[in-house]
A = this chain, B = another copy of it.
């Protein structure tokens, strides 16, 4: 899965009821643990005595905040965001959180997911005279909607509740008003969001690994559709949008989430091992070594090795120092750009029949270069095993793939694709078995990218009568 699932951001928040202090630093460490969910921009907003301080910029968490003395930035509650939106790479107006001033003071929103009807919402707002500073920032749209809804509601949470029906798509949200912190997961539960505690302080994180990093106890995942409201006096849950059908994006288990996270009851690492085991049963091959494409293919490769009895080994070394600021390869190096990131471990693969496990095929170009690397290192055979089904349908809830023509699995048969990759065999996880990788999951899955069955309407429309 080579850099294509772009809309998977990271959220982290805290309402520091136990007065632990170091609030901005805690959010910083939490975001740092969620850095894999978005490397384009980062931001932290802290509420102190009803005043907001917002720091955000393009770049990695460790770059954005190095100029600031976060230890001096105290407050009662705070939220942070790491962003994978490509439009936030160079344009800070598209970074999050978004903080605005409106008739009730200030309002801060951070969003993870993809609003499928974003354009329709924006058009509807503009037709009422709204102005936008960003070119593509769902949090700014949500700010507009909340500000308008708040005109006719008694509380911020009621305003948020008026906005939820307007949003089509995936959205985990953290929202701050001058004295409340609200966490919300969309009715389908497409993106994860969990809650933790340190003493009486309440924390929210996109993944459980964020809680663990800052020393918080994991309490539970938010239910699909649940809104948790934290005020100075209480914390309560509003379940009006919860429903029976739920649909966590299965790519969270396949690729997006960190393996040490547990999402909706399912260990991500175990899901990947399970995928590898299923793959071995469904697509066995006579071989000498199983290797994984780092980082997301490794757990599945170990699963494949365990099930098949073929030894597991390291076949590819990843250069850990590739960063945002890496200088663009020269023409001469462009065709070698995979070489900058990955190198084959000749001593392990030479003369061997290799099973190479990767998580998915979107465009397929990088994978072709990797097969080439392994063959050049002396592998006799390379059998590619993909720990997910064929990616056939566009995703409206979190990728930037514009149309089906760019999906390799749509353009080629498996045999054509195998030839294209110059692999000795190629097979995918069977579509029927994909949910078996997550037997412990407490909620259902969206697998629309594999089967085309979208869990909700994805048309870019809006019922304007609902906008105040």
- CB pair B260 A317 closer than 8 Å: yes
Q: A327-B28, A327-B65, A343-B260 are in contact. Are A107 and B129 (CB under 8 A)?
A: no
* Chain B residues near A107 (CB-CB < 8 A): 131
Of residues 293 to 309 in A, which have CB atoms within 8 Å of B's CB atoms?
295, 298-299, 302, 306
Q: A215-B336, A339-B215 are in contact. Are A330 and B129 (CB under 8 A)?
A: no
A209 to B373, CA, bound (A): 13
- CB pair A131 B143 closer than 8 Å: yes
Contact of A259 among B65, B317, B336 (CB under 8 A): B317
A326 to B25, CA, bound (A): 12
A150 to B129, CA, bound (A): 8
Q: A65's closest neighbor in chain B, by CB?
A: B327
A245 interfacial contact with B, CB 8 Å: no
What 1/0 mask marks residues of chain A from 18 to 33 whose CB sits below 8 Å from any chain B CB?
0011100100110011
Q: A132-B102, A347-B267 are in contact. Are A306 and B317 (CB under 8 A)?
A: no
Q: A122's closest neighbor in chain B, by CB?
A: B101
A35 to B321, CA, bound (A): 7
- CB pair A103 B126 closer than 8 Å: yes
A340 interfacial contact with B, CB 8 Å: yes
Of residues 315 to 349 in A, which have CB atoms within 8 Å of B's CB atoms?
317, 319-323, 325-327, 329-330, 332-333, 336, 339-340, 343-348
- CB pair B346 A25 closer than 8 Å: no
Q: A20-B332, A66-B327, A100-B131 are in contact. Are A313 and B302 (CB under 8 A)?
A: yes
A127 interfacial contact with B, CB 8 Å: yes
* Chain B residues near A35 (CB-CB < 8 A): 319, 321
- CB pair A148 B133 closer than 8 Å: no
A143 to B329, CA, bound (A): 33
Q: A133-B133, A302-B313, A339-B212 are in contact. Are A269 and B348 (CB under 8 A)?
A: yes
What 1/0 mask marks residues of chain A from 25 to 62 whose CB sits below 8 Å from any chain B CB?
10011001101100000000000000000000000111
- CB pair B102 A213 closer than 8 Å: no
What size tier do the contact residues of chain A reach? 35 or more
Of residues 252 to 300 in A, which have CB atoms within 8 Å of B's CB atoms?
258-260, 262, 267, 269-270, 295, 298-299
Q: A127-B151, A260-B317, A302-B312 are in contact. Are A62 and B144 (CB under 8 A)?
A: no
Per DSSP, are chain A's interface residues mostly helix, strand or loop, or mixed? mixed
* Chain B residues near A417 (CB-CB < 8 A): none
- Stoichiometry, copies per complex: 4
Contact of A319 among B33, B262, B302 (CB under 8 A): B33
A28 to B332, CA, bound (A): 13
Contact of A101 among B63, B127, B131, B214 (CB under 8 A): B131
Q: A22's closest neighbor in chain B, by CB?
A: B330
* Chain B residues near A260 (CB-CB < 8 A): 317, 343-346
* Chain B residues near A336 (CB-CB < 8 A): 213-215
Of residues 140 to 164 in A, which have CB atoms within 8 Å of B's CB atoms?
143-144, 147-148, 150-151
| A70 CB to nearest chain B CB (Å) | 6
Show 16 A/B contacts (Cβ-Cβ < 8 Å), sorted by A.
Answer: A25-B327, A25-B330, A36-B321, A61-B321, A62-B321, A62-B323, A70-B327, A100-B132, A107-B131, A127-B151, A128-B129, A128-B151, A213-B340, A259-B317, A260-B317, A270-B348
Which residue numbers of A lie inside 8 Å of B, CB to CB? 20-22, 25, 28-29, 32-33, 35-36, 60-63, 65-66, 70-71, 99-103, 107, 123, 126-133, 135, 143-144, 147-148, 150-151, 209, 212-215, 258-260, 262, 267, 269-270, 295, 298-299, 302, 306, 311-314, 317, 319-323, 325-327, 329-330, 332-333, 336, 339-340, 343-348, 468
Task: Give me the 4 closest cross-chain CB pairs, A-B, nearest first.
Answer: A267-B347, A129-B148, A103-B126, A100-B131
